[in-house]
C-alpha cells in the first residue's frame, strides 16, 4: 500500500511540475533546439537518471531523471519502454537514453544504456587496448586461422559486460549481424544457421560451447534492442550472447576479423563471416557468407566419439 501511495504522489509531483503528462510541454519552458547541434532526431532529448519503479503491466519505467537542458527540469516521471528494456530494468539502476513525446502526449524512452562506473571503465579500457592493438598491427591487423581472437569487452543483451576472457575454456561460434538487416539471405540467415548449430550441439549433449553475435550497428542495437530481438525469435540466450558497445571497438573487431561494413543511409552494406574459436582462444575455422552448413562447425564442436564411425 505504501508503495502505491508513493507511486501516486511521485506522479503528482511530475504532473504539477510540468503540467499533465498527456498534454504538450509548453509549461516546461521548452525551447527550440537545432537537432543538428545535438546529433539527435528532432524532438528527441538525451536523458540520464535512476530507475525508481517498474510497471510491467503498463510497460513503463518510473525514472528520477536529471534536468534536460532546454526541455524540462529534474523530476520523477513515467516513460514507455520496449519489452527488452523493461526486462533489463532493475530498480535503483542508473541509465541514460533518449526520450521523446508522441502525438498522444506519452513519453517514451529508448536507446537505453546502463550507467555504471566500473562497467564503463572496463569497456573503455578494453576498447582503448583494442584500438592500440589494431594500430600496432597496421596492415597486418587481419587475424588468420591459427591466431588468437582479439581481446574485447562489450555489453550483452542483458546489459552485462562480457569480455573475451569469459569464453576461455569453451569453443565459441562468432559472427556479426545487425537487427534491422532487411535481407533474408544475410543477417537473418546467419542467425538461423547459428541457432541450428546451437540446437544440434545441445541435442548431442555438448558442454562448454557458446555462440556470439556482435552488432554492426551499436547506435541502434542497444542491449534492450538485442534482448527484444532474441525474445521475438525465441532464441535460447543461455549460451548465445548478442553483444554491442563502443563503435570504435566494433570497427577494430571487424578489421581484425576481416569483415567489411559500410553505413549507407539507414542500411549497412556488409560482408559476413562466421568463426570458430577453440578453448584457448584460437581461431580454428571460418566460413564467409551464409552458404555454410552447420556440419562444417559441428564436426569440430561435437565430442570426437560422436563423430567417429563405429566399427
Q: On the CB side of 129, how many CA atoms lie within 13 Å of its CA?
A: 12
Q: Is 196 exposed, middle or buried (0-12, 13-18, 19+ CB in 10 A)?
A: middle
247, 276 Cβ separation under 8 angstroms: no
Give me the pLDDT at residue 260, please: 81
Cβ atoms of 253 and 266 closer than 8 Å: no
- What is the structure's pLDDT at 265? 64
How many whole angstroms separate alpha carbon 4 and alpha carbon 1? 5
- DSSP structural state of residue 66: -
Task: Give the integer Cα–Cα distance in Å for 68 and 77.
Answer: 13
pLDDT score for 261: 72
Tell me the average confidence (pLDDT) per consecutive run of 10 residues in the chain, 311 residues long.
Answer: 40 38 33 49 94 97 96 96 98 97 96 97 98 95 96 98 95 95 91 97 95 94 98 97 96 92 67 93 94 93 62 42
Q: What's this model's pTM, rounded to 2 decimal places?
A: 0.84
In angstroms, the first-to-last Cα distance of the chain is 71
d(CA 182, CA 33): 33
Q: Residue 274: CB partners within 8 Å, gap ≥ 6?
A: 173, 174, 175, 190, 193, 194, 286, 287, 292, 297
Amino acid at each position: 500500500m505504501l508503495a502505491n501511495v508513493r507511486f501516486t504522489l511521485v506522479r503528482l509531483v511530475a504532473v504539477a511540475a510540468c503540467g499533465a503528462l498527456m498534454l504538450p510541454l509548453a509549461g516546461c519552458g521548452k525551447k527550440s533546439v537545432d537537432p543538428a547541434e545535438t546529433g539527435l532526431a528532432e524532438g528527441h532529448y538525451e536523458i540520464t537518471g535512476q530507475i525508481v519503479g517498474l510497471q510491467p503491466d503498463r510497460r513503463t519505467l518510473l525514472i528520477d531523471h536529471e534536468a534536460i537542458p532546454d526541455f524540462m527540469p529534474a523530476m520523477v516521471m513515467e516513460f514507455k519502454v520496449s519489452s527488452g528494456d523493461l526486462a533489463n530494468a532493475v530498480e535503483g539502476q542508473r541509465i541514460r537514453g533518449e526520450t521523446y513525446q508522441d502525438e498522444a502526449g506519452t513519453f517514451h524512452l529508448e536507446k537505453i544504456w546502463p550507467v555504471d562506473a566500473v562497467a564503463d571503465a572496463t569497456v573503455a579500457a578494453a576498447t582503448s587496448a583494442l584500438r592500440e592493438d589494431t594500430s600496432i598491427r597496421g596492415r597486418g591487423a587481419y587475424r588468420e586461422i591459427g591466431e588468437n581472437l582479439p581481446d574485447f569487452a562489450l555489453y550483452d543483451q542483458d546489459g552485462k559486460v562480457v569480455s573475451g576472457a569469459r569464453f576461455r575454456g569453451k569453443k565459441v561460434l562468432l559472427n556479426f549481424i545487425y537487427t534491422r538487416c532487411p535481407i533474408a539471405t544475410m543477417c537473418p540467415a546467419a542467425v538461423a544457421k547459428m541457432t541450428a548449430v546451437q540446437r544440434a550441439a545441445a541435442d548431442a549433449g555438448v558442454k562448454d560451447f557458446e555462440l556470439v553475435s556482435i552488432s554492426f550497428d551499436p547506435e541502434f542495437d542497444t542491449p534492450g534492442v538485442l534482448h527484444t530481438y532474441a525474445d521475438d525469435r525465441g532464441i535460447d540466450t543461455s549460451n548465445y550472447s548478442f553483444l554491442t558497445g563502443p563503435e570504435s571497438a566494433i570497427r577494430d573487431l571487424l578489421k581484425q576479423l576481416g569483415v567489411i561494413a559500410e553505413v549507407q543511409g539507414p542500411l549497412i552494406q556488409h560482408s559476413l563471416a562466421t568463426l570458430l574459436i577453440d578453448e584457448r582462444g584460437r581461431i580454428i575455422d571460418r566460413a564467409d557468407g551464409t552458404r555454410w552448413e552447420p556440419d562444417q562447425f559441428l564436426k569440430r564442436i561435437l565430442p570426437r566419439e560422436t563423430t567417429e564411425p563405429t566399427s
